[in-house]
Amino acid sequence: MKKIGFIGLGIMGKPMALNLMEADYQLVVFDKLGSAVDAVVAAGAESGLSSRDVAAKCEIIITMLPNSPHVREAVLGKDGVLEGAAPGTVLIDMSSISPIVSQEISAELAKADIKMIDAPVSGGEPKAKDGTLAIMVGGPEEVFRDTKPILEVMGGSVTLVGDIGSGNTAKLANQIMVAVNIAGMSEAMVLATKAGVDPEKVYRAVRGGLAGSTVLDAKMPLALEGDFSPGFRIELHIKDMMNALDAAHSLGVPLFLSSQVVEIMQALKVDGKAADDHGGIIQFYEKSAQVEVRRRKG
């Protein structure tokens, strides 16, 4: 079985790496935060000294990093993947970044006969832990076919969308729909609560109809408990939405609702809630209406 390099062991990367190890893959790991590396090494992984070192030891490298600049640095920068990888190496970038940057990085790697697919994920920390992420892939079909068994360890669904960059385009579309859905849920439930109706009963009444959704079922029970501990932080959703806006504007596509939700999330960031889960969008509406949407006691 080929040895896999894993670069980026944050809130998503760590459980994804652990799932690969549970499936008997050998991992060489690296993260700038030493404590993140220590936790995975304790589970049996080998520690890499740098992205370059990881690439020199592995035929397949996975990157799971915050944004475009981090991926570019880890792959193309000093002591990066490109400096250590041999011809024929495959890079699977599972970060959520700009589709344009995915294409640019892929083009540079191709000069050294290194193949790449972009494979961003959706599902947050809970699905990263249980290995049921939705994985959206862009890149050559033969590379997708060869790496699909690895991706299936981490994902409940793995879909080839198109050429390189298509995975991140699909992820941006996903993030728009999730953000707008949470905002709609928030508006509706704040209205119901302010009107004196039990929000939990409203949730149960609507979840079986057309308004029901995976987002509603994932976020509403947590909102009712006032639990906004991060599964996917507001600040990271802002990053994704800004990438969506940049991509859309470069294509001449206005994003009216997305722009509104970005400003709501920016207001929450200013209010000290950047590290809250994106389900915490409801707090903006609660503050505006001076009411809290919570489970009623008794």
Q: Which residues are catalytic?
A: 171
Cβ neighbourhood burial of 193 (10 Å; 0-12, 13-18, 19+): buried
Q: Which residue has the tokens 């549970």?
A: 22
The owner of tokens 């090494």 is 41
What is the secondary structure of the chain as a DSSP string? ---EEEE--STTHHHHHHHHHHTT--EEEE-SSHHHHHHHHTTTPEEPSSHHHHHHH-SEEEE--SSHHHHHHHHHSTT-HHHHPPTT-EEEE-S---HHHHHHHHHHHHTTT-EEEE--EESHHHHHHHT-EEEEEES-HHHHHHHHHHHHHHEEEEEEEESTTHHHHHHHHHHHHHHHHHHHHHHHHHHHHHTT--HHHHHHHHTTSTT--HHHHHHHHHHHHT----SSBHHHHHHHHHHHHHHHHHHT---HHHHHHHHHHHHHHHTT-TTSBGGGGHHHHHHHHT----PPP-
Helix 282-289 to helix 166-194 angle (10° resolution) is 30
In DSSP notation, 179-202 reads: HHHHHHHHHHHHHHHHTT--HHHH
Would you say 189 and 283 are in contact if contact means Cβ atoms under 8 Å apart?
A: no
